């Protein structure tokens, strides 16, 4: 259910960076879900350290 709210919200903001951090890989880590998130422009992170790595790369 949560992924549908994320997709809906992402659609309301098509020109903004969209990031989603959740350790709930049981629901959000499935390939079909990550593909849906990606297609909606949402970058999914399942670990905080991966998010911080991405964030740091954006500052350079």
pLDDT tens sequence for the chain (60 residues): 577 888 899 989 989 999 999 999 999 999 999 999 999 999 999 999 999 999 999 987
The pLDDT, as a whole number, for residue 1 is: 59
The pLDDT, as a whole number, for residue 19 is: 93
Q: Which residues contact 14 (CB under 8 A, 6 or more apart)?
A: 41
Distance CA 27, CA 12 (A): 23
The pLDDT, as a whole number, for residue 60 is: 72
The pLDDT, as a whole number, for residue 59 is: 85
């Amino acid at each position: 259910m949560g992924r549908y709210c994320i997709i809906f919200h992402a659609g309301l903001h098509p020109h903004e960076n969209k990031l989603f951090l959740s350790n709930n890989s049981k629901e959000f880590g499935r390939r079909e879900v990550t593909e849906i998130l990606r297609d909606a422009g949402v970058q999914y992170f399942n670990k905080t350290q991966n998010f911080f790595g991405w964030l740091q790369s954006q500052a350079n």
